[in-house]
Amino acid sequence: MNTEADRRIAVVGGGISGLTVAWLLQRKNYHVTVFELRDGAGGSIGTDLDNGWLAEKGPNSLLLTSRYISELIDGLGLNDRLLHARPEAKKRFIVRGGRPLQLPLSALSFLTTPLFGSGAKLRLLREPFIGPGDAETDESLAGFVRRRLGREFLDYAINPFVSGVYAGDPEKLSARHAFPKLHNLEQKYGSLIRGQFLGARERKKSGEVAKDRAAMLSFRGGLADLIGALENGLAGNITYATPLSGARYERESNSYYLTTDDSSKTGFGPFGQVIYAGSAHDIAAWSFSGGITGSLKELADIHYPPVTSVTLGFRRSDVRHPLDGFGMLVPEIEPYRILGTLFTSSIFDGRAPSPDHVTLTTYVGGTRKPEYASLSDDDLLPQVTGDLDALLGLDGEPLFIRITRWPRAIPQYNVGYGRYKEAMSRFESDNAGIHILGNFRNGISVSDCIKAAFELAEAIHG
C-alpha cells in the first residue's frame, strides 16, 4: 500500500517511456511531475510537417504487439487519428546483386525466390533437427543464426534486418538480450521453425502478437500525435528544459530530491518515488548522495551508435521503382552506403502532398558505417541520392528534404548486456522507490517501451 508521500512521483525523461508511465500513474491519482531535458517532449519520437509533406525524425510506426498499445490509444482518445499501414506494406525488399528483391512471404515464394540460393534453402530444412545451444551461453546473434540457419541467411536476412531494427552489428548483438523471443523459441521448442508453429497457440492465449504479424500503426499527424496527446493529458505537470543530474535521499523525511547542475535552480522534491526514463549514458553520470547506495556508472559503456535519418520527397514520376511495399534493407556485403529506405508514403496515407508525390526515408550510419551519420548535409545528400538512384531509379531532384541526426541513436544489447541489467536491478533493490525504465532496459521498440511503462505502473500501483 502506497503512503501519501509515496504518491508524489518524479519521472525523469519525457520520451514515450516516461510520458506513458506518468500518464498512467496520474490516472491512478498519483501526483506526477515529468522532468524533460529539452524544450519539447517525445525523445526519439518527433514529426515534421511542411506543406503536405510529413517526415518522422525517428520511428515511423509502432506495432500492435500487446493489448497495452490499444489501451493507450483508446485512453488518449486517439482512435479517430489512427492509421493502419496499407496492406501492400507487408511486402519488403532486400537488396541483392544491386536489385531490391522481394522477401518471400509464403513457402512457395520462398522456394522460387532468387534472394536465397538452393544451398540456403536446403539448409533451412535442417533447422528443426539442430539441437538448442547451451542455455547459459550469451551467444552473438550472428553465431546463433550461423548455427541454426547458415551463413547465407545471416548475410541476406538477419544482417539487413538487424540494421533496420538496431542499426547494429549481429556479430556483437546478444541473441538472448537483443532478441529474447528468438532465444526463448530455441530453448523452449528446440527449433525456431517448430516454435513458430507451436508457440502460436501460447501467444494467442497471452494476447501477445509476434512482431512480424502485428498490425503496424501511426496517426494522421505522425507519431507526434501520440506524444501530443500524452503531453495534453499531463498538462501542467511537465517541466521542460530541465536537465537533472543527481538525486539525494533524506532518511528523516523518507524522500528523494532531484538536483541539476544549474546553480540557479535549488533542486526538486520531496518525492516518494523516482522513475528514471532517460538514457544509459545520462544516468551513468548522475551523482547520488544522502542515503542512496551504489552507482550506475558502468551503464556508460552501453554503446549507442549514431544514425541519421533522411526523408526526401519526390514527384511520383521521378522515381522509377513502383514503391509497392514497406521499404528495402541493404545487407552489409552489398556495396552501398545507406542502411535501408522506407517507402514512407506507401506505408501510410498523408505522408506526401498528393498521390503524385512520394516520400522515402533513408537511414545512414549505425555500427556499420558510423562515419556517414556525421557528414554535413551537402556531403550526405549526394551519397543518399546516389544509392537511391542505383537501387530505385531517380529521374529528378528531391522537392522536400528533412535530415535528423541522432548522435546516440539506439542502445545496443550486445553480448554481456546481462551485467547492465543486473546493475539496474541491484540499484533498484538497494534503493526502494527508485525505478529504471526506458529503451536501454526493456527493449528498444516503441511498443516495448509502452508495454514496460504499463507493467511498471501496475507494479507501483499494485
Ligand X SMILES: Cc1cc2nc3c(=O)[nH]c(=O)nc-3n(C[C@H](O)[C@H](O)[C@H](O)COP(=O)(O)OP(=O)(O)OC[C@H]3O[C@@H](n4cnc5c(N)ncnc54)[C@H](O)[C@@H]3O)c2cc1C
Could you list the residues that contact ligand X (CB under 6 A)? Answer: 12-18, 35-38, 43-45, 58-62, 243-244, 277-279, 282, 307, 309, 406, 409-410, 438-439, 444-447, 449
**Minimum distance of ligand X from residue 285's CB (angstroms):** 9
| DSSP letter string, 302-361 | S----EEEEEEEEEGGGB-S---SSEEE--TTSS-S--EEE-HHHHSTTSSSSTTEEEEE
Comparison of 12 and 185: residue with beta carbon closer to ligand X:
12
Q: Are strands 31-35 and 8-12 parallel, antiparallel or unpaired?
A: parallel
| DSSP letter string, 189-235 | HSSHHHHHHHHHHHHHHHT---TTTSPEEEETT-THHHHHHHHHHTT
Distance CA 131, CA 187 (A): 9
CB 393 within 8 A of CB 321: yes
Query: What are the grid coordinates assigned to 159, written together?
Result: 544482417
Distance CA 114, CA 315 (A): 31
Does the N-terminal peptide bond of residue 270 adopt cis geometry, omega within 30 degrees of 0? yes
**Minimum distance of ligand X from residue 454's CB (angstroms):** 14
Amino acid identity, position 26: Q
Comparison of 123 and 441: residue with beta carbon closer to ligand X:
441
**Minimum distance of ligand X from residue 136's CB (angstroms):** 28
Comparison of 12 and 32: residue with beta carbon closer to ligand X:
12
Distance CA 101, CA 116 (A): 10
| DSSP letter string, 19-61 | HHHHHHHHHTT-EEEEE-SSSSSBTT--EEEETTEEEESS---
Comparison of 185 and 409: residue with beta carbon closer to ligand X:
409
Chain centroid to CA 164: 10
Comparison of 199 and 306: residue with beta carbon closer to ligand X:
306
**Minimum distance of ligand X from residue 356's CB (angstroms):** 26
**Minimum distance of ligand X from residue 122's CB (angstroms):** 34
Q: For 393-433, where are the alpha helices, taking DSSP H only?
A: 418-430
**Minimum distance of ligand X from residue 415's CB (angstroms):** 20
Comparison of 12 and 149: residue with beta carbon closer to ligand X:
12
User: 3-state DSSP call for residue 88?
Assistant: helix
Residue appearing with cell numbers 535519418: 309
CB 94 within 8 A of CB 328: yes
Comparison of 84 and 315: residue with beta carbon closer to ligand X:
84
**Minimum distance of ligand X from residue 29's CB (angstroms):** 23
Q: What does the angle CA 108 – CA 113 – CA 116 come to, to the nearest 5 degrees? A: 120
**Minimum distance of ligand X from residue 37's CB (angstroms):** 3
**Minimum distance of ligand X from residue 191's CB (angstroms):** 27
Looking at the chain, the number of H-run helices and the number of E-run strands are 17, 21
Comparison of 15 and 100: residue with beta carbon closer to ligand X:
15
Comparison of 140 and 362: residue with beta carbon closer to ligand X:
362
Sheet holding 244-250, edge to edge: 268-271, 255-260, 244-250, 287-290
Comparison of 191 and 308: residue with beta carbon closer to ligand X:
308
- From residue 287, give the alpha-carbon distance in Å to each of 259, 421, 423, 436: 9, 20, 16, 16
**Minimum distance of ligand X from residue 103's CB (angstroms):** 17
**Minimum distance of ligand X from residue 12's CB (angstroms):** 5
Comparison of 85 and 149: residue with beta carbon closer to ligand X:
85
